[in-house]
Structure 1
Amino acid sequence: MANRIDNWGAALPKEYRSDSLGDIKQLGIKKLFRGIILAPSNSGKTNMVFHLVKNSPNVYSHLHIVARNPDQELYNYMKDKLAGYITIYDPSEPPRVDDIQKDPRGGIQFVIIDDYCWDKKLQHDIS
C-alpha cells in the first residue's frame, strides 16, 4: 500500500488539463490558491497583494477588488495599468459571489477582499 496518493490530474495529457492547473513559478505558489493576509494597519498588506499581481503575469483573466477603502495609491495604479481587466467595487455595494463566479473568457479570476474581516454585513452579502 502506498503512503501517498498520486496526482492523477497533473498526469493527464495537456488537452484534458485546465489552464488553471499549475504553478506561478515567480512566486512558488499554485495558480489556484486561497490565501489570507492578516496584519495591522500600515503593515504592507496592499503591497503584498500588489506583489502577487505583479508577479503573476498572464495568469489571471480578471482582478476583482472589494475594499473598504478602494482609493489607495496601489489600487489606483492597478486600475490605470489593468484597465479592462480589473473591477474595483463600491464599498457600500459589495458583489455577490455569483456575480463574479464566471468569466465569459473562461479564465482564472483573482478576487481580493480588503479590510472586511470584521464586517458582518459584507460577510452576509457576499455569501
Structure 2
Amino acid sequence: MSTAHYTPGEIAERFGISLDTLRYYEKEGLLTQVERAPSGHRRYRASDVELLYLVRCLRDTDMPIARLRDFAELVRDGDHTIPRRVDILADHDARLTERIAELQERQQAIRHKIDYYRGVLAAADDEEIAR
C-alpha cells in the first residue's frame, strides 16, 4: 500500500469488507467525498482510513446507519463538533454496555444448559456401563 493513498481493493482487503460495502458506505455519506486519481479511479486518504476504522467499529457494535451518518457529518464539520461526537459515542457506549450485560446473561443460560446436557450424557454413560 502507498503511504498517501489507498485503492478501493486495498481498503476492502484491509477491513475485510466487499467493494459493494465500501461503495455503500460512500453512498450513505459515511466517508468524505472520495478523491479520484487522474485516471478516474477512486483513492482513499489516510483520514478516510481512520474514519472507516471507526465506522466499522461502530457498525460492528450495531450503531444504526443514520446515527453513523450523523457522526460522520460531525467529523467533517470540524473540531467545534467534538462535544456532540462525545455525546454520540458515550450514548453508544452505554447502549453497548447494556447489550454486553444482556449477552452475558444469555451466555450463562446457555452454559447452564450445556452443563445440564453433559450431566444427562454422563449419567446415560454411567448407566450403560453399569449394565
Above 0.5 in TM-score?
no
**Category of TM-score, reference length = shorter chain:** under 0.3
The structure with the largest strand share of the pair is: 1
Larger CA Rg, structure 1 vs 2: 2
Q: Which of the pair has the greater relative contact order for Cα pairs under 8 Å at 6+ separation?
A: 1
Structure 2-normalised TM-score? 0.21
